Amino acid sequence: MTETLSALRVNMYLNETCAADSFPASVEVLAEQELSDQWKLMRLGEDPPVDIWMADNLPKDASIGVDTWCISIDTAQRWERAFSGKQQKLVETTKNLVDEVWINRPPAEINAVTIQPLKFAGRSVGDKLKDLRKKLVQEQARGIIFTALDEVAWLYNIRGSDVAYSPVVHAYAIVTSNSAFIYVDKQKVSAEVKSHLEENGIEIKDYTAVSSDVALLAYNKPAAGPTANGALAEVTKEAGKTSSETNSSINSNHQAEEKSNDLIWADPGSCCYALYLKLNADTVLLQQSPLALAKALKNPVELEGLRNSHIRDGAAVVQYLVWLDKQLQDNYGASGYFLEGNAVKKENHLQSLKLTEVTASDKLEGFRASKEHFRGLSFPTISSVGANAAIIHYKPQAETCAELDPDKIYLFDSGAQYLDGTTDITRTVHFGKPSAHEKACYTAVLKGHIALGNATFPNGTTGYSLDILARIPLWKYGLDYRHGTGHGVGSFLNVHEGPHLISFRPQVRSVPLQSSMTVTDEPGYYEDGNFGIRLENVLVVNEADTKFNFGDKGYLSLEHITWAPYQTKLIDLNLLLPDEINWLNSYHKTCRDILAPYLDEAENAWLKKATEPIGV
């Protein structure tokens, strides 16, 4: 039984917690290393997904308990379809069973809500609500529910620290044609934040009140808001009953005697199933939240902040490379960032000077922390040497991480949260003598990175169409990578932001790139047990000034806003085309010019050497 439950749990984790586009095979390698014999690893694409596994392995007519607060509408409905063929049904549990067995669970932290000022947000709450209500009218909806934390934060111009690496608040929101609500622990709301919200017409309600208010909204008249009472109280009481109380499955728990012609909007991909069950299924608009796209289209102030934060972040990365270069030369006998040669090992170097994946990443965080507006990292730093670099989502642990080795490739993927922007950058370097194969692989990745970043394309083009540009140089050698090539980046919000992606997966076909979006450019190549290579910049989508305008579509291009050198020692110059060499030299010149004011004399001297023109 232990093995069966373990298989179910790990399968559920792999399939439901991780976005398919960001879950490469190398994570399975990591899982194999860390899971005990009690766990059975279920592989994406090879083993059945969790809903199919349960349908096939549980008895006919089985009831499958689920905490409906922990799964989305999409997930629940997909599971219900899988179970219906076996006469199985999904049943809402009254309690979360994990919570029941969690001994000595620490109390929830009371983290303060903060205001994202207009000088960073760029648009007022009033303007955002006005645009949102126009969308409600267009879709004939009288209200909308928000459960995605970044959408609540963006809409109300607030931030928080309830989730590691993402400056969001545990909160819900409901907006109607004439009302706006936030559901949050009121202990987190200062007088200043309370004033900010109330001045924008937002009523602050207790976090736990969202369930009853959604039920009230579902059975209310269109003109009233969730705070209505009186005769509706009995309807709310009835609507709030659990599936066990109504003696029916979740499937039939949300039918109403009276139907309304007005819709309640809920995003099926993010809204939890528990709130959906409070609604009248016949009057729910299941459609992607309008804030997903609105948030992705950055306003001029947000774009300026993103550009500025990436400059400061680039300076921190250069300072880190300068420091790392010196440490490896002084204490490990490395030939260094610029010269090719095997390290002269210094076996007697002081233990206090031991450089590991973790101590190195801590130093990088320190350089970032010294920059203006720094508020923390945007995700756990991937600091990986040698074979660990082939594990795409590798997370080093202080007790088990590897010591840096100047004779092996070192990959670091990292980012930060600044008040004016969120950053994400990956660089791959070698402080010894890279092999010809490593150079060829690095150069192929670089060529794909350049090709995508230089693309010009018509309006309406999706990331699915662009993804191939980053892969063609690798395909030429029979190489590839198993992850997507790009994702959106928030403005002092989530480092992974939709609704757009650059990916080979068909599901991204429907969301075209648009001017003022941000997107990463991060091709890679990974050899299990050997090394990994990835290069990543953040780009801004801009309108392109083309000579012609076929079909009157308008065309778009991409602007790099990440600034840090590519290691020319890892490049096989014979594999680069003249245009690629020219682009690299131009990018490196901009690096020198734009980062110089943020570096001291020694750092600028290092950067000048790192960005010297090649192929001339």
Residue 164 has pLDDT above 50, yes or no: yes
Strands 284-286 and 263-266: what pairing?
Answer: parallel
Ranking 6-15, 363-372, 584-593 by mean pLDDT, the lowest is: 6-15
> Two tokens at 206?
């207790």
DSSP H or E segment with residue 456: strand 456-458
What does the pLDDT read at residue 347? 60
What does the pLDDT read at residue 42? 84
What's the rounded Cα separation, in Å, for the pair 591 and 310?
11
Q: Tens digits of per-residue pLDDT, 509-558?
A: 679 999 999 999 999 999 999 999 999 999 999 999 999 999 999 999 99
Closest to 525 in 3D by CA, of 475, 577, 572, 570 = 475
Give me the mean pLDDT over the 170-180 stretch: 97
Residue 404 has pLDDT above 60, yes or no: yes
> Two tokens at 17?
């917690």
> Two tokens at 86?
């076996």
- The residue that leads in pLDDT, 3 or 74, is 74
DSSP string, 292-304: HHHHHS--HHHHH
Ranking 119-123, 209-213, 348-352, 459-463 by mean pLDDT, the lowest is: 348-352
pTM over 0.85: yes
Q: Tens digits of per-residue pLDDT, 250-285?
A: 343 443 333 344 899 999 999 999 999 999 988 999
> Two tokens at 608?
């000048």
What does the pLDDT read at residue 351? 55
* 433-438 long-range contacts, CB within 8 A, separation 24+: 433/335, 433/340, 433/341, 433/342, 433/407, 434/340, 434/409, 434/569, 434/570, 436/572, 438/409, 438/531, 438/533, 438/570
What does the pLDDT read at residue 121? 99
What does the pLDDT read at residue 244? 33
Q: Tens digits of per-residue pLDDT, 482-513?
A: 999 999 999 999 999 999 999 998 776 679 99
What's the rounded Cα separation, in Å, for the pair 545 and 143?
41
CATH class of the region 114-296: alpha beta
> Two tokens at 477?
């050698």
Give me the mean pLDDT over the 366-392 stretch: 98
Q: Tens digits of per-residue pLDDT, 128-140?
A: 999 999 999 999 9
Whether the CB-CB separation of 409 and 447 falls below 8 Å is answered with no
Q: Could you tell me the fold of the domain covering 300-610?
A: Creatine Amidinohydrolase (3.90.230)
What does the pLDDT read at residue 342? 87
Whether the CB-CB separation of 384 and 410 falls below 8 Å is answered with yes
368 confidence band (pLDDT: 50, 70, 90): very high
Sheet holding 202-206, edge to edge: 202-206, 180-184, 172-176, 141-146, 263-266, 284-286
What does the pLDDT read at residue 219? 79
DSSP state of 158: E
232 confidence band (pLDDT: 50, 70, 90): very low
Give me the mean pLDDT over the 413-418 stretch: 98
The contacts of residue 302 (CB under 8 Å, 6+ apart) are 120, 121, 122, 421, 491
Closest to 307 in 3D by CA, of 230, 421, 434 = 421
Give me the mean pLDDT over the 430-444 stretch: 98
What does the pLDDT read at residue 165? 98
Q: Tens digits of per-residue pLDDT, 295-329?
A: 999 999 999 999 999 999 999 999 999 999 999 99
- Span(s) in the chain for CATH 3.90.230.10: 300-610
What does the pLDDT read at residue 418? 99
DSSP string, 495-550: SSEEEEEE-SSGGGTTSB--TT-EEEE--EEEETTTEEEE-BEEEEEEEE--S--G
Q: What is the mean pLDDT of the chain?
A: 89
- Span(s) in the chain for CATH 3.40.350.10: 2-101, 114-296
14 confidence band (pLDDT: 50, 70, 90): very low
Percent of the chain with pLDDT over 70: 86
What does the pLDDT read at residue 246? 32
What does the pLDDT read at residue 558? 99
CATH 3.40.350.10 for domain 2-101: yes
Q: Tens digits of per-residue pLDDT, 26-67?
A: 566 667 677 888 888 887 767 888 899 999 999 999 999 999
94 confidence band (pLDDT: 50, 70, 90): confident
DSSP string, 318-329: HHHHHHHHHHHH
DSSP state of 552: G
Give me the mean pLDDT over the 11-30 stretch: 45
What's the rounded Cα separation, in Å, for the pair 393 and 34?
14
Residue 169 has pLDDT above 90, yes or no: yes
